[in-house]
Structure 1
């Protein structure tokens, strides 16, 4: 008999439960809302077309994040992305001016630091879990977290 932990979710449930997380992850990596929305849509289409079997809900969440990260990397590698200029975006997310400064500073980080900062501080993953998700040694993740925090500190120097 399937347990609650292993019972697969219906497509609508998957979108409701994980769409915000996938969109936030994509937006933190690609910096543009339209690209992030496209990536989130592709991730869920991939999941619905050929759903893998997951051991747990946590495994399902990790798969969605890994798929999102891979789609972001594919976008950066595409010739279309390198030859187009993005339009200015006006996000209507209600953040305080201080939160906007921090978010802008995070978005300016190189992708390898942005990924680990996002996964650690926003999604709450441990460094071991991040290492597994990104297929990197844990010491590399620790170094990237340290370097990312240092870059953020320099970028926000005098602001706080």
Structure 2
């Protein structure tokens, strides 16, 4: 919509959503997901990626946020399971983010190290509000469902995506 209106008047449209929350923004460490115009954003963020035509920046952000949301969900379930199994949750985090090996372990990542201790304490200072993550997770799933040919079915057909069945429902 914006792209067409701008280009019809001879302008150029730049799409550049960012990946990162409040602290990375304050520190100039955002990841910039630019589309259409080759970006000159390196002074604004840690890294810029040129993703091709307009729309790809937004698509990439949805994919990244979907993966991040899935990781947070897995961490949450793991911490809850550890707690209910009588395991020390901090020890679980220590096992996952152990930094003594060269490759840092298969599941070590900065988000677990950053968010895990606060989660154990029940502290959730907003860097990326849950309502925004939920929106992105929902959008990513519905976009995938449409891509699988489910667009004309009831919106509950998104279940096909979430349960992992890549079927158009024609059985």
TM range (shorter): 0.3 to 0.5
Q: Which has the larger radius of gyration?
A: 2
Structure (1 or 2) with the greater strand fraction: 2
Q: Which has the higher contact order (CA 8 A, sep 6+)?
A: 1
* Higher helix proportion: 1
